[in-house]
Structure 1
């Protein structure tokens, strides 16, 4: 009986988690993507974000916040984003899928739906790429007020 209760509890926690697959710029869900790597002879790409934290301030529950995180490839090799995911299903990222050449810009657009998310919010967006820092994060934060 104890095993059954623990199994049910584990399944509930698993299915109730807020994570969902990220969506690419074409709206398709990405799950298990392979990270691309640059040839050691070609140098390495580097993502230089204009900002890594966006504070949306105070909003009413149910409002949708949309923000674009822009970055420049300041490295010497193209940057390829292999996966972008959010810490919660209420946050949906889309991103540049084409390789970002040195000196060019890429972007990650994040949409946060505040329905059912009352209180202080901090949503982490994790970016996997072939850049110098293979895993990078940006975040949305603010306060959602009940209506």
Structure 2
């Protein structure tokens, strides 16, 4: 348990430092990341019973981005509120595909307060209907909550052709098959 706890602190510090914005000094960012990690670790070392557990409540659990051309990026912020009775700590957020990257708050979210999980989906090399699952792991009961990013990628999923180049699959007779 001690190793898990120390690993979480180290990972949180590194992730928070990587996620910090470019404003302010890196020393300030590192100090803030360390403070957030310590606060999160303190919350996690005191498990809560189900009656007092934090509750992760999303305003939207499934976002439909509609139709986008292949190669476009889609970004969405899932807004949430901690409707439980104790501080919420999001330990991790993962997506079902490497093309989808979530970013989440690293500091504890107090009861009644909210936050945002920003998700970026890169539609390059994708086509057709998409349903990306984002799994959020925290000190909630149950520990994991899933939200969806859905929509349709249209057009050619491969890299766009250079201006003036023939469309993919066009045969101009100047090469062998």
So what's the TM-score if we normalise by structure 2? Answer: 0.62
Q: Structure 2 unaligned segments of length 5 or more: list them.
A: 1-13, 20-40, 157-177
Segments of structure 1 that go 5 or more residues without pairing to the other structure are: 1-22, 29-33
Residues matched between the structures, number: 120
Rg larger in 1 or in 2? 2
Candidates 103, 119, 123, aligned match of 1:94: 103
Change (3 A) 1:27 1:93: farther
Taking a change above 3 Å as real, the CA distance of residues 75 and 37 of structure 1, as seen in their structure-2 partners, is farther
In the TM superposition, structure 1's runs of 4+ consecutive aligned residues that sit over 2 Å from their partners are 23-28, 36-43
Does 1:107 find its partner at 2:116? yes
Q: Which has the higher strand share?
A: 1
**Cα distance change on mapping 1:26 and 1:93 into 2, 3 Å:** farther
Q: Which structure carries more helix by proportion?
A: 2
CA separation of 1:108 and 1:84: change in aligned 2, threshold 3 A: same
Alignment of 1:106-125 (within 5 A): 106-125=115-134
TM-score by length of 1: 0.74
